[in-house]
Amino acid sequence: MRALNSPSLARSQNLRLIELLSLRPIPQQRSSRSPAGAISPSDVKNVEGKMEHTTLPRLPGRDYAGTVIHGPVEWIGVEVWGTRAARSAIRSMVAMRN
């Protein structure tokens, strides 16, 4: 998995693309393949050190859309979108079903 990384508080132009381990979810969780994610103004402020409580290293971006690749069989292949809570690694996922 590739992600933008901010190892220190600096200008957003200093973000680097890094490789991360792809983790499999535990039972009852799902993971999705997201070809792209959104970077919001608050993400830029965070990596530039303009927001309190910023922790490092930081992977900016909370909003995503993609296709479920791991999880319960009935979810595999379902297109989803979601977000992650501000101080949480847990992401919510909403299915885009017809």
How far is residue 15's CA from residue 66's CA, in Å, rounded to a whole number?
23
**Beta carbons of 44 and 6 less than 8 angstroms apart:** no
| pLDDT tens for the chain, residues 1 to 98 | 777 777 777 777 777 888 888 777 777 777 888 877 778 888 888 888 888 887 777 777 777 888 888 888 888 998 888 776 655 444 555 666 54
Q: Which domains does the chain have, with CATH numbers?
A: 2-95 (3.90.180.10)
Question: What is the rounded CA–CA span in Å between residue 78 and residue 66?
Answer: 8
Distance from C-alpha of 18 to C-alpha of 80, rounded to nearest angstrom? 24
How would you list the strands of the sheet with 31-38, edge to edge? 31-38, 63-70, 79-84, 91-95
pTM for this predicted structure: 0.62
Closest CA to 1 of 39, 32, 46, 43: 32
